[in-house]
Amino acid sequence: MPDIVNCALKIVRYSVNMAVIFSFLFSNYKFLAVRIHV
């Protein structure tokens, strides 16, 4: 049971990290796109 919980926590942590990185990259991309257009 603890192994399953640990696995689930790792997956959740990984997906949260990916979401944070993706949103960070996306906001940076929009910022750069605006800078290039202007």
Chunk the chain into consecutive blocks of 10 residues (it has 38) and report each block's average pLDDT, rounded to whole numbers.
Answer: 91 97 91 78
pLDDT value of residue 6: 95
Report the helix count and the strand count for the chain, using DSSP H and E. 1, 0
pLDDT value of residue 23: 94
pLDDT value of residue 16: 97
Enter the pTM of the model. Answer: 0.56
CA gyration radius for the chain? 16
pLDDT value of residue 32: 84
Where are the chain's structural domains? Answer: 1-38
pLDDT value of residue 20: 96
pLDDT value of residue 36: 76
Joined tokens for residue 11:
């997956």
